[in-house]
Structure 1
Amino acid sequence: MKKTTFTIIFLSLALYMAASSTFPADTTFHYNNRKVVISENDNEINISVYHRNEQGDTIESRKVYEGIFTEGRSIERIYANSFEISVPDIFKPKSKRRPSRSHWAGFGVGFSNLPQGLDFDRELASIVNLSRSLQYNLNPIEGSWRIGNSNFTGIVGMGIQFNSIHWQNNKAIEVEDYKSVITTTEPGNEYRDSRLHYTYLTFPFLIETNWDLGRRSHFFVNAGVVAKVKTASSSAVWRNNENGKKEKTKLPGEMNIRPVTLDLLAQGGVNDLGFFISYSPFNLFRNNKGPEANQATIGVQLYF
């Protein structure tokens, strides 16, 4: 299949170059069950090869190859069964980087809050130290596929999400009678710091589309759900010891963070830099095992 495809590409490109004065800017060739579309824009030639599959009255056309050719350089993509495992562009030479691509793999950081539903004045949200409550996302694995002949792409992958929620200095999350509860220190005995940590493995399913901005730039948006599996959680406070030095105390007990949950996620941006907004419709804690709270986060992401 690859040999046939490259033969078609070579012959089509040669024919197009030889007869460029008679062909229009956009040209389509048909060869057996292949369709070759050639277009030219600003001294850039784009060749796309589609596999045509006829079943009764239905004709399915699936892209199997795309090549972009300019003076002194070329960019080529092969679509195997409509699914593509993306090698991060950061590891490729500039001449091999894609003009547009899917967006999951990367590193991001955002500010988190813990409203109840969409009420940001409830129990946990009212004691969160917003300037220090952060979410970190490291997403090393990404796979994508084009959805039919549309401009939409499906994205799956895997990542790691680390959450560090800091409280007001007189508050902490502790476990009492197997439940996670908010505790308050005596006046004059405040903590130097108080925080809750929890970490997830993340598995996204996103739909993305993008628009060409010219000069090898594109604007993208995607949205979908991210399944999350908890791997660790802990609560800790810091006090001054008798020598005036900051001393950490890890609070005992299982924090009752929900073991499996999901986020609603939306992302957008230009090229390799974007923003994200996420919201979990499920309670952060297990049912009847902790305060009612949903996590909401907004941040920036650098895509690999």
Structure 2
Amino acid sequence: MRSFVIDISKFAKKLNPKFSIIPQNGLELCFNELEVSNGMHKEYLSSIDGIGIESLFYSNEDSNTEEKLTALNLLKETKKILVSDYTKSKKTAELSIRKNQKKGFTSFPREKENYDYSIVPDNINNENDTNINFLSQTCNFLYLINYSNFESKEAVLNKLKNTNYDLLLIDLFFDKTSFTKQEIESLKIKKNGGKRLVISYINIGAAEKFRYYWKPKWRIGFPSWLKKNYEGYEDEFWVKFWKKSWQKIIFEDKDSYVQKIVEAGFDGAYLDNVECYYFLEFD
């Protein structure tokens, strides 16, 4: 997986040297032999620009907070840390914001009705009119990758244009129609006039049936890299991410997912399910 992320970064940054790569979870990859005590993995860290973490302080399951904090405290001096806690009330959402801010992390707390990242909250933590030109400058971010609450692509665009988030983390596609470069550029100005960044979500550890690349005849084992069901997500399947045929879908090809993201004018890519090696047996 580490090599996969490095190769994605090289491909994207060749197309756009300012393009940001942000893997979500999989903190162990930042360290030699997957151990904090063995020191940082320099090549991997030089290939990424930030780190996304789900459920650091608040979660619906054991989140290994102290173990993660040990790693993050070493990484935060050089990498932007974006945390999306799962909170069950406004009170815990506020606590999440304060705890992350104290640690120097940027927070997006999602309450229980926003478990699927489908809501644009009206209240923005550390709202400002500063021009955001680099990932390191962001004081807040929106995590919106489920457009089920919107009737059209235009409705999504209108909602996002009327916010002051420093960073928009969104999906490239509304249904199977991608946002255009002109549409993405229109999102790079906050409602208050300040500049902001727009980052695209991409799932590199699981294949999704609703994506443009999915073929109707595909099933577990066909293609051979479709490994097994992703429990809790009926339209997703863990993949053998090391297989070239899967990697070619993600990058390398002119019709690849990362190529589409760069060409649409996004400022970076947020790589989900980087930690999928937890759930797979290598064979």
TM more than 0.5: no
**Highest CA radius of gyration, 1 or 2?**
1
TM-score band (shorter)?
A: under 0.3
Identify the structure with bigger relative contact order (alpha carbons < 8 Å, sequence gap 6+). 2
TM-score, normalised relative to structure 2: 0.21
More helix by share: 2
Structure having the higher strand fraction is 1
